[in-house]
Structure formats: C-alpha cells, structure tokens
C-alpha cells in the first residue's frame, strides 16, 4: 500500500490500493481501493495509449470499495507528470 507500489487495474478502472484486509473464512485477501475519476489517453498517435493501458489520470473518487484480490487485472506504476499522473502497466501480470 506504499505510494509507487499501490496502483492496479480492476475491470476498466485504475485504482490505488489503500489497504489489504484478511478476513477469516475467506481464502483470498480483500483489497480496499480508490479509483481515479478522470482518465485520459496519454498519447493518441500512432494509437490511443489506453489500448496499451497507458493513461493519464487525475482526481481520486474519494470513495473506498473492496475488491477480491483475484479481480485485479493488472499491476501498474503511477508516476507524477505535470499536474496529473501517468499510469504505466508493469510487464508482468501477477501481483
């Protein structure tokens, strides 16, 4: 849950992991995440960067939700860029 190591893609949303919860009786840990409200293509030529899961984001939602760890589609890195952040996928797919 440290900055720089807490960014994931869940379904179509890019999120920051805020906490990891282990619930007795449930096999997988549950992640508490907050998603970004605004997601933009970081570049549009020669293709839209979102097709490669490279996006520019801003404005966290302020809402926390729980997600089963098995629902994580991709681990990413979130880097500051101007007045926003750019999210880049990591080359491996596992957490």
What's the confidence (pLDDT) of residue 23?
Answer: 83
Tell me which residue of 21, 15, 14, 18 sits closest to 1, measured CA to CA.
Answer: 18
Tokens coding 47: 């293709």
Give the C-alpha separation, 37 to 21, whole Å: 24
Global pTM?
A: 0.86
pLDDT at 92 over 70: no
- pLDDT tens digit sequence for 50-75: 999 999 999 999 999 999 988 998 99
């Amino acid at each position: 849950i440290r900055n720089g190591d807490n960014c994931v893609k869940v379904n179509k949303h890019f999120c920051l992991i805020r906490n990891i919860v282990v619930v007795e009786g449930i096999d997988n840990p549950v992640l508490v995440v907050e998603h970004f409200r605004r997601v933009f293509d970081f570049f549009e030529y020669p293709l839209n960067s979102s097709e490669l899961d490279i996006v520019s984001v801003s404005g966290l939602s302020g809402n926390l939700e729980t997600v089963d760890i098995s629902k994580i589609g991709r681990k990413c890195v979130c880097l500051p860029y101007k007045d926003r952040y750019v999210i880049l996928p990591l080359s491996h797919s596992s957490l």
